[in-house]
Structure 1
Amino acid sequence: MPASTPPPPVAARDVLRAFTAHFNYPDLGVVLVCIDPTGLLAAALGWNFVSKLRPAVAKALSETFREDPAVWEGPHDHLVLVFFNAAEVDAQTVERRLVERMSRQVDIDGRPVFVPTSLGVAVASEVSTALSAPDLVRAAGAAVHQAIQTSTPSVRASSESVELLKKEVAATTELAKALGSDFSLHYQPIVDLTSRKRVGFESLLRWQVGDELRLPADFLDAAETTSLIVPIGRWGVSAALDQLAQWQRKSGDTSLFMSINFSARQLADSGLVDHVATAIAASGVPADTMWVEVTERNLIEIGSPAAQTVSELDALGCTICVDDLGTGFAALRYMVEQPVQVVKIDRSLVSQVGIVEPLRSVVGAVCTLSASLGIRTVAEGVESEDEVRKLRELGFTHAQGFLFGKPAPENEFEF
């Protein structure tokens, strides 16, 4: 159907039916616009005001694009934009114009308001798994979901978009069934770089599904997008501290520590600090032998729930460890302003310190600053004796990696 003669607007329930009736599918492109995806405006201005958002945004976009793409008010808080001839209409240009338009205010009853949106773009020629207009809309919906989860303005659907979403749903269903069972912890040694003595461990979550042992990369994203990461994470804390208590008793070394990873979602759990306090008391380990390992981004917003939880865990006596520390000025400020006692430098940087001279200098400066502040430095992913020599020269205090031991279950360690 030519772009100059779009079909008349239809009710939301008839949108998909109208697609299949009016359009030549191979030429079709769809943009799904999710309005106020986080509910910010609904919470701030009320549902009565928010009910006016969809028609106002539809009007603004219709004025921006005129005929192609055409704009429908879709289901719930979505708009549906349709390319009638995606072969002639540059989807990338339209996507850019959409993002630009939605970065400006929208007039709602004479009141200018910035309306947050997330966009999902699906073009028939780019999504080989979509065989019909409804399939393409679903692919655009999967792209919207990804945009919301990654906090990006717009995402283009691929042939894998819907299947990845199905896998996420399946994974969360499996995770819900597995709570309280099927999870285990593996442990990777952390050594003192001078003595090479094993002084602690990092606990790493594993999920047993039948004969398959799944790594965090296979399921943590699904757990993060739901509330499941909270009970899984709490279980991980208790299990790791119980194991640490056993190893401290066997070794007679009460300074042996356990580093436990925490995500932003876990740190937002209002009951986390109480749970950690209870787990420390139940296990009997010294509080400072529990390393609270967080990523740098969780310390960015001072006063945020995550940063507040970190401060409370520090007050509890835990050792705060920052993983994946960057090498910019902001990262150095966190080391000075936040309650950080340990920083970890990622393998991607560690492997380059002997090759890229400017990087070696910057990482060396981080080690020097850390030493002056009494902060321990851990080099991750160490795999060779040559790396050990260079890391010692830079001033690293600790290291972990395959050279010192791969992640393994507790029964593979002797004391």
Structure 2
Amino acid sequence: MSESTLPPEPTVANREAIQSRTAHIDHPSLGVVLVCMDPTGLLAAAMGWNFVSRLRPAVASALREKFGEHPIVWEGPCDHLVLVFFDVDKADPETVERDLAERLSRQVDVDGRSFFIPTYLGIAIASEVSTACDAIDLVRASGAAVHQAILSSATSVRATADSIELLQQEVAATTELAKAIGSDFSLHYQPIVDLSTRQRVGFESLLRWQVGDELRLPADFLDAAETTSLIVPIGRWGLTAALGQLAQWQRKSGDTTLFMSVNFSARQLVDRGLVQHVADAIATSGVPAATVWVEVTERNLIETGSPAAQTLLELDALGCTICVDDLGTGFAALRYMVEQPVQVVKIDRSLVSKVGIVEPLRSVVGAVCALSASLGILTVAEGVESEDQVDKLRDLGFTHAQGFLFGKPAPATEFEF
């Protein structure tokens, strides 16, 4: 959500307007709905910014026609927002939410022309937001709920007592992340072995964030980085550091086939400067391009022709090895693998752990390995933790493996060549 989407701190005039519109409703019975229009700026870009100034009154007018005098529809303090106030003792919140969604799913007349207006709803009800002391607080809570609705692609979200606090924590986390780039991040590495020889043939680089005495794992911060532009500089730093380390290990071992797998998110794949940055990092480090595994998750496999798919094609043309991580049992993903330049797939640990227990699952994973082999695609079993798994994985046709059995993620200093 852009900064302009959230309600600003109310001015004196806005505070007075909100208070006057809600004065007749006892605070414990007050409900607020914030309607966020055109959150991506689609209409503004297509129709011009002057159109946006006419959009808000048009939507407000359509809602007034729908509701009459109750609930109260106010155009609000921002170009992209309309506020709806109602008394929960007189209007059921679920009904208000449903009626709003129904009306906003239909076209709205703007200057004599009909348009569909993309909208998200943030709903704050005093009885559910115990931290809200007045109507102003409820408006802020409804803004926090809209933010969550946009992030989750939900039509509407109800605010809770901690909605504003969670939003403040998100702001603090992204600020902390921005400060940490280039100073507090480090990489750990997990070995990947050739199953036929059990020899270490490569590594996956894994991001870590040092905060005081605490070492944070990607699950603690990557979502925040992914929802902002911070994943781009973090990812660029990680790639440069990983290839620098790979170059050292290749020189020490004399093995120029030793590879490094680096994770890339969907947001990184649409970064127009990514391919050039990868090319520059390869040139600076001196490692062969084929030893750079570009690792993307199954859910980030993109339809042919999209910007992200084009990036994968360009990285393949650069000579990098394209690797799909966390592959599940979805054969839709295999279709994308045929259409895109995939050379390696990693089978998710949740499947690997069950191949010796659940016979139907073993058959499915075996079929994935067989199909991959027929396409010349290498297969990596993730999360291998015991010796009794190794023979089963070989029998299924896996070519490579990684997991605690072969080594836990660790700093570069813990590996010898």
Q: Please name the residue that 1:79 is paired with.
A: 82
* Alpha-carbon distance change, 49 to 204 in structure 1, aligned in 2, over 3 angstroms: same
CA distance in 1, matches of 2:409, 2:131: 38
Q: Please name the residue that 1:350 is paired with.
A: 352
Preserved CA contact (<8 Å) 2:304 2:339: no
CA distance in 2, matches of 1:301, 1:20: 49
Aligned partner letter, 1:262? F
Q: How much does 1:65 deviate? A: 3.5
CA distance in 2, matches of 1:387, 1:95: 52
Larger CA deviation: 122-131 vs 189-198: 122-131
* Alpha-carbon distance change, 248 to 56 in structure 1, aligned in 2, over 3 angstroms: same
Matches within 5 A, 1:314-353: 314-353=316-355
**Which consecutive unaligned segments of at least 5 residues does structure 1 have?**
1-10
SS at match of 1:55: helix
Preserved CA contact (<8 Å) 1:311 1:339: yes
* Alpha-carbon distance change, 93 to 413 in structure 1, aligned in 2, over 3 angstroms: farther
Question: 1:318-341: per-residue Cα shift (whole Å, max 9, x none)?
Answer: 001112334334212111111111
Q: Please name the residue that 1:70 is paired with.
A: 72
* Alpha-carbon distance change, 367 to 88 in structure 1, aligned in 2, over 3 angstroms: farther
Question: 1:2-58: per-residue Cα shift (whole Å, max 9, x none)?
Answer: xxxxxxxxx855443336633222222222111000000000111122222111222
Preserved CA contact (<8 Å) 1:321 1:344: yes
CA distance in 2, matches of 1:155, 1:61: 19
SS at match of 1:250: helix
Larger CA deviation: 367-376 vs 327-336: 327-336
Aligned partner letter, 1:347? R
Whether 1:236 aligns to 2:238 is: yes
| Matched residue count | 404
Matches within 5 A, 1:254-403: 254-403=256-405
Question: 1:160-197: per-residue Cα shift (whole Å, max 9, x none)?
Answer: 32222111111122222223211111111122233222
Whether 1:204 aligns to 2:206 is: yes
* Alpha-carbon distance change, 30 to 249 in structure 1, aligned in 2, over 3 angstroms: same
CA distance in 2, matches of 1:24, 1:80: 18
Whether 1:125 aligns to 2:127 is: yes
CA distance in 2, matches of 1:390, 1:243: 33
Preserved CA contact (<8 Å) 1:12 1:73: no
Q: Please name the residue that 2:63 is paired with.
A: 61
Aligned partner letter, 1:28? L
Q: How much does 1:235 deviate? A: 0.9
Q: How much does 1:93 deviate? A: 4.1
SS at match of 2:160: coil
Q: How much does 1:402 deviate? A: 2.2
Q: Please name the residue that 1:8 is paired with.
A: none
Preserved CA contact (<8 Å) 1:19 1:133: no
Question: 1:209-236: per-residue Cα shift (whole Å, max 9, x none)?
Answer: 2222222222222222332222221111
Q: Please name the residue that 1:3 is paired with.
A: none
Matches within 5 A, 1:171-182: 171-182=173-184
Preserved CA contact (<8 Å) 1:12 1:72: no
Percent of pairs identical after alignment? 79
Larger CA deviation: 283-292 vs 325-334: 325-334
SS at match of 1:126: coil
**Which consecutive unaligned segments of at least 5 residues does structure 2 have?**
1-12
CA distance in 2, matches of 1:209, 1:404: 28
Question: 1:338-375: per-residue Cα shift (whole Å, max 9, x none)?
Answer: 11111122223333334444433332222111111011
Preserved CA contact (<8 Å) 2:302 2:308: no
Q: How much does 1:123 deviate? A: 2.3
